[in-house]
Structure 1
Amino acid sequence: MSYAYNRLNKEDVALLMVDHQAGLLSLVRDFSPDEFKNNVLALADIAKFFDIPAILTTSFEDGPNGPIVPELKEKFPQAPYFARPGQINAWDNEEFVAAVKATGKKQLLIAGVVTEVCVAFPVLSALEEGYEVFVVTDASGTFNPITRNAAWDRMSQAGAQLMTWFAVGGELHRDWRNDIEGFGGLLAGHLPAYANLMQSYAQQSLSSQS
């Protein structure tokens, strides 16, 4: 059976950030706190870099789930934002779904907390409605690797593609010649090892000009 490699298309994709809330982040144990926050903000920066529309949503903010991570809201001050009154599956919120459909995009990048609920439920719902769905695995977190892997299996078997934020950036960028310093700078801002690489590149460029 042949396989069709359907790449992320920056002209046809939207980003859904689901339930990255202060209370829920305390449940994430499959990443360290600093690592996880870096991954989430890296994904946000990628969306901004490629001018990808973002939609933010939270669940039961007035309860223990808490408010959205403030840095995320600051990155998307104009993005549609839905504080769901109680629906666990974001796709059960009519306003949220209407905003997704209003983007006119056929591809969806989805990340959230926790993976097997707040991510998996809307992923499965979006797949059912015909969207091409990409789950950003390292910007989604949960209790432990067992629950995470079960969720990954469930989503991938349903047709979702599993990616990391770094892979998302690379697939959207396609060609280094599009913007070496801009994209490289974004990566360097979230990966210390990549910052070293970019410093080496800058020194080589200076040497070649002298």
Structure 2
Amino acid sequence: MSDKFSEFLTPDNAVLAMIDHQTGLLASVRDIQPETLRKNINGLTNMAKTAGIPSAVTASLSEGPNGPILSDITNVLGDTVINRAGEINAWKSPEFKAAIEATGRKKIIMAGIVTDVCLLFPALSAVAEGYDVYAVVDASGTWDDATRDAAMLRMSQAGVKVTTWGSVLAEVMDDWRNPVGYPLGGVLGGHTAYGLVYESYLAQQAQQDSAE
């Protein structure tokens, strides 16, 4: 029998959680190139917006050294940011947890800066409470490769699904005939090398349409 853990992601069963993608913390990331991380963050947030997936954005010490949330995120998902009172683990913030619970969804697509704290801790806590967490590691980042790898191992051991934003997009999309199929293909093309494939296809389609 299918359950929430074996079901695939859909636009109707998932919520996106973006945790502490703040300018001060982003400056400390060394396990992924800054421009690649930014593309991945934009791809993930645009995927959620295009698919109509609700989101919750949270920040820690936004007026302190961690800085404000990256404007790329608020430009796509809106200006509502849950500024935590002091909790390092976002899941311990009543406001953040309530925002997730309010969606009524048990699958959480989650990314955070840094991977081994801001992503790891709430991912473990949510899984412990019965949620199905997809940890998007390429839209997250941390101090170095060893730290990232240790966090990935710990999450995997706890039952968190470690994944990438492109894989999440394809899982949500499911079928090119889906109403959001081609728009999601455009999101993938706009933030990865798939853009060359997508551009060629669109050009071919335009030629066919003009010939008819």
Q: Matches of residues 72-151 of structure 1 in structure 2 within 5 Å?
A: 72-77=73-78, 79=80, 81-151=81-151
In the alignment, structure 1 residue 49 sits paired with structure 2 residue 37: no
Supply the AA of the counterpart residue of 1:111: A
**Residue in 1 aligned with 2:158?**
158
- SS for the counterpart of 1:56 is strand
Supply the AA of the counterpart residue of 1:104: G
Contact between 2:176 and 2:182, CA under 8 Å: does it hold in 1?
Answer: no
Superposition TM-score, scaled by structure 2 size: 0.92
Contact between 2:10 and 2:173, CA under 8 Å: does it hold in 1?
Answer: no
Deviations 1:121-171 (A, max 9, x none): 000110111001110110010011100010001011100101111000000
In the alignment, structure 1 residue 6 sits paired with structure 2 residue 3: no
Shift of 1:173: 0.4
**Residue in 2 aligned with 1:186?**
187
Identity over aligned residues, as a percent?
A: 44
Supply the AA of the counterpart residue of 2:58: T
**Residue in 1 aligned with 2:69?**
68
Shift of 1:5: 4.0
How many residues align? The count is 205
In the alignment, structure 1 residue 168 sits paired with structure 2 residue 171: no
Deviations 1:19-70 (A, max 9, x none): 0000000111111111101101110000001100000000011221111111
Supply the AA of the counterpart residue of 2:127: L
Shift of 1:184: 2.2
Distance 1:111 1:180 in 2: 23
Q: 1:21 to 1:148 in 2, by over 3 A?
A: same
Distance 2:54 2:79 in 1: 10
Q: 1:94 to 1:49 in 2, by over 3 A?
A: same
**Residue in 2 aligned with 1:28?**
29
Gaps of 5+ in 1: none
Shift of 1:199: 2.0
Q: 1:32 to 1:78 in 2, by over 3 A?
A: closer
* Off by >6 Å, runs of 4+ in structure 1: none
Superposition TM-score, scaled by structure 1 size: 0.93
Gaps of 5+ in 2: none
